[in-house]
Structure 1
Amino acid sequence: MRGSLKLFSIYGIPVDINPTWLIAVVIITWSLSTGAYPAFFQMWSPQQYWIAGIVTTFLLFASVLAHELGHSFAALAQGLKVRGITLLLFGGVSRIQGKATRPRNEFLIAFAGPAVSLIIGLVLIVWWIKFHPSHEYMVTPLHGIIFFTGWMNILVAGFNLLPGYPMDGGRVLRSVVWGFTGNTRFASKVALRVGRVVFYLLIGWGVWQIFNGDVIGGIWIGLIAWFLMSSARNEQEEQDNSVVIEQDRLGFEIRNIITPMPPMIEHDQLISDILSDLELTQLMGSIPVSKGGELLGFITGVDLERIPIEQRRKLAIGEITRSESLRFCSRFDSGRDALHAMDKYGVMQLVVMDDGYVFGIVTREGVTKAVQEFPYTTDISQPTDQM
């Protein structure tokens, strides 16, 4: 991210901080050291309040980093690329390249971050419940730090799960609507509209806090809501632009990108034999499964790798092949129609068939590549009204 300072890399994922992060460090440290800790633990010295506040602030940002790593590792597991993680004023952001191709994948990526925060929070709170001293005067800054870090992680998880797109909860909502309807554009509209309501409620909450004396807390919530609304507006513009691009680029007929049907594998072959016989390039694509020359469906190398090793010598590939993976299209269908069908049925390929004759298959990767190579002629540089 522009203007950010790179800190280090974790498993090849660059981690950097934005200068606005320093503002958050100062505000959170001051709030904890002069407000929260003195209110809860009145027996400490001023120095202990500040030490606890500083340590808790940095542990909170370490927790935010763990939260973002949850998103990033989930994205990597789905085959997406992660350009890095940036810590900034309102938390962190994972710069994930590309988008999930299935509702389930988007759900897992979106939910992974809050799940990490929730686990960290629960572990620390359980430790606090089990080991904190019975007498108040025996509570040390270490106990306080664990208590506050635990509760703040739980709050981070809960706040992020609010259905305000593009927050994690909004993306979870989008994935659920997408899964039920099969329509990504409709799912995005629902998530954005619900998110707009959530952000207005947050602004109202911030104003209410200001009128009740918590000026800093109210302003902070208002700024977060404003930031999220700006992000949502950018997402909306991106959605609108993508519609224009799709109309131009996805109108081609898929007969131009048909690929030959890969060699079919008989349904009674053992999974262990297939994994040892097939080349890596074959395992990375869709594998057609047949029975006596009749196509049953498709399986992927990822599906095979998920089978426990001890079962691979017992299970035949036909036993795990889903008939739902076999979907058809016409060679005269558009790229738009093909992608819509893949999204609707949750598959990565379609069998191209006309008049009972199979011409080959069309894959999501093939459509995407064709879109990228299609001449860019649509002008989307015109300014749009800001709401």
Structure 2
Amino acid sequence: MKQTFKLGTIGGVPVGLNWSVVVTVILVADILAQSVLPGADPSAPAGARWAAALVTAALFLGSLAAHEFAHALVARRHGVRVDSVTLWMLGGVAELEGEPPTARADLRIAAVGPATSGAMAAAFAAVWAAAAALGAPPLATTPLAWLAVTNAAIAVFNLLPGTPLDGGRILRGLLWRRRGDRVGAAHAADRAGLAMGRAMIGGGLAALLVGGWFDGLWLALVGWFITSSAKAEDRWTDLREAAGGRRVADIMTSHPDHGWTWQTAGAFIDTVAVASRQAVFPVVDTEGDPVGVVTVERLMRLPAEDAGVALGTLTVPLQAGRVVGPDEPASAVLAHAPFMGDLIAVVVADHHLLGIVTTADVQMLIRRSRLRPTTSAAAGRAA
């Protein structure tokens, strides 16, 4: 999940917001200010209702952040690196790099999220009870009750047994511990998430047909997200299995066509680009280190009068983690989405460009992992 607004770093973990979180704030504030709070206190001024609604929306986001940070903290305790925590429209995402080392760690990392939401629900309920006992006005007690109920609902919803929800990861951990097969357990949890997401989409469409447009649309949206995420995680499970034990050098395209920062764009097009099958080219400096990439599309848009500009001025800088060594684990590269076009990473050693990793390399890796020995070959080995 891409961070649109970076809020800073907490405990070494980058924290940010995706732009879609604005939708959540608006929806929560509108529901509270227009429906919930007027019912609790019809005489309250509109300004006071909106102020209470916005504060409640902020506390709601804070409770979502607490849920994700719980995942992050327990993951780090078990040696799993945490790249970031991002809040977005449908909740939050703690992006973990790597997999839990054991089934027990997997269970703990997954279970702490719903447990934290349940604890937040209990805390808000306790504050609500105390405020009500002290005679606090409805504009103070009603948001607290709403936060308690909402966090409890989040805890229960996240326990549904299907990826990418926490319940799906709990299911994965339980199956992993019982069967001793992490890959098989992951596929089972992914399939459960896919079935659950499709059921939600169907329920949402049915609600739309009978006039419940808001609830139906929201349920269908959540179902679509779960379905898409379950498919993505199932593919990642295949990738992780295919990359097991392999190095970057085992999957890369060796000796790729590339350019130099100092050569003219026109010369590069005439001598390299027109004859190459690549869509993206690494560009290296005078010492042989890659500094960026240039795409065929960028070169096609280059005006004829600019053919004499240095190729280095047309490159897009490489992001952190996109330059890797040949002996690094292949799984570390496969976790990245394509950077430019179909390029995933550039492989370098001792100031020398060795290769590139592209989506075609990844697809070939998956296809090769699915190959099975023929009957004759198996019989020959047996003999």
Cα deviations by residue, 1:193-252 (Å, 9 ceiling, x for unpaired): 211222123223323443454422321221121112111111111122223323866xx9
Aligned to 1:185: 183
Aligned to 1:275: none
Q: 1:248-267 alignment to 2 at 5 Å?
A: none
Aligned to 1:332: none
Aligned to 1:70: 70
- Do the aligned residues in 2 keep the contact of 1:121 with 1:152 (CA within 8 Å)? yes
Cα deviations by residue, 1:81-140 (Å, 9 ceiling, x for unpaired): 1111111111110111111010110111111111111101012113323441598xx633
Q: Judging changes above 3 Å, is the alpha-carbon distance between structure 1 residues 229 and 382 closer, same or farther for their aligned structure 2 residues?
A: farther
Q: 1:42-191 alignment to 2 at 5 Å?
A: 42-132=42-132, 139-191=137-189
Q: Residue 79 of structure 2 aligns to a residue in which SS? A: coil
Q: Judging changes above 3 Å, is the alpha-carbon distance between structure 1 residues 45 and 207 closer, same or farther for their aligned structure 2 residues?
A: farther
Q: 1:361-380 alignment to 2 at 5 Å?
A: 379-380=361-362
Q: 1:267-346 alignment to 2 at 5 Å?
A: none
Partner amino acid for 1:187?
A
CA distance in 2, matches of 1:12, 1:372: 23
Q: Judging changes above 3 Å, is the alpha-carbon distance between structure 1 residues 132 and 212 closer, same or farther for their aligned structure 2 residues?
A: farther
Aligned to 1:238: 236
Q: Residue 132 of structure 1 aligns to a residue in which SS? A: helix
Equivalenced residue count is 266
CA distance in 1, matches of 2:45, 2:133: 18
Q: Judging changes above 3 Å, is the alpha-carbon distance between structure 1 residues 28 and 236 closer, same or farther for their aligned structure 2 residues?
A: same
Q: Residue 83 of structure 2 aligns to a residue in which SS? A: strand
Aligned to 1:321: none
Q: Judging changes above 3 Å, is the alpha-carbon distance between structure 1 residues 118 and 78 closer, same or farther for their aligned structure 2 residues?
A: same
1:379 Cα deviation after fit: 2.8
CA distance in 2, matches of 1:220, 1:39: 23
- Do the aligned residues in 2 keep the contact of 1:133 with 1:139 (CA within 8 Å)? no
CA distance in 1, matches of 2:48, 2:365: 53
- Do the aligned residues in 2 keep the contact of 1:52 with 1:144 (CA within 8 Å)? no
Q: Judging changes above 3 Å, is the alpha-carbon distance between structure 1 residues 123 and 194 closer, same or farther for their aligned structure 2 residues?
A: same
Partner amino acid for 2:167?
G
| Range 39-48 or range 188-197, more displaced | 39-48
Q: Residue 162 of structure 2 aligns to a residue in which SS? A: coil
- Do the aligned residues in 1 keep the contact of 2:240 with 2:331 (CA within 8 Å)? no
Aligned to 1:365: none
Aligned to 2:288: none
- Do the aligned residues in 1 keep the contact of 2:194 with 2:231 (CA within 8 Å)? no
Partner amino acid for 1:20?
S
Aligned to 1:38: 38
CA distance in 2, matches of 1:30, 1:108: 36
Partner amino acid for 1:245?
A
CA distance in 1, matches of 2:37, 2:7: 30
Structure 1: unaligned runs, 5 residues or longer:
253-367
Q: Residue 93 of structure 2 aligns to a residue in which SS? A: strand
- With normalisation by structure 2, the TM-score equals 0.62
| Range 216-225 or range 96-105, more displaced | 216-225
- Do the aligned residues in 2 keep the contact of 1:80 with 1:97 (CA within 8 Å)? yes
Cα deviations by residue, 1:3-37 (Å, 9 ceiling, x for unpaired): 52211221111111111111221122212221233
Choose the corresponding residue for 2:199, options 198, 201, 205: 201
Cα deviations by residue, 1:65-87 (Å, 9 ceiling, x for unpaired): 11111000001110111111111
Q: Residue 379 of structure 1 aligns to a residue in which SS? A: helix
Q: Residue 15 of structure 1 aligns to a residue in which SS? A: strand
CA distance in 2, matches of 1:118, 1:194: 24
| Range 195-204 or range 19-28, more displaced | 195-204
Q: Judging changes above 3 Å, is the alpha-carbon distance between structure 1 residues 88 and 76 closer, same or farther for their aligned structure 2 residues?
A: same
Q: Judging changes above 3 Å, is the alpha-carbon distance between structure 1 residues 119 and 212 closer, same or farther for their aligned structure 2 residues?
A: farther
Aligned to 1:23: 23
Aligned to 1:227: 225
Q: Residue 95 of structure 2 aligns to a residue in which SS? A: strand
Runs of 4+ in 1 over 6 A off after TM superposition: 368-373, 375-378
1:41 Cα deviation after fit: 4.0
Aligned to 1:348: none
CA distance in 2, matches of 1:48, 1:218: 31
Q: Judging changes above 3 Å, is the alpha-carbon distance between structure 1 residues 45 and 133 closer, same or farther for their aligned structure 2 residues?
A: farther
Q: Judging changes above 3 Å, is the alpha-carbon distance between structure 1 residues 190 and 209 closer, same or farther for their aligned structure 2 residues?
A: same
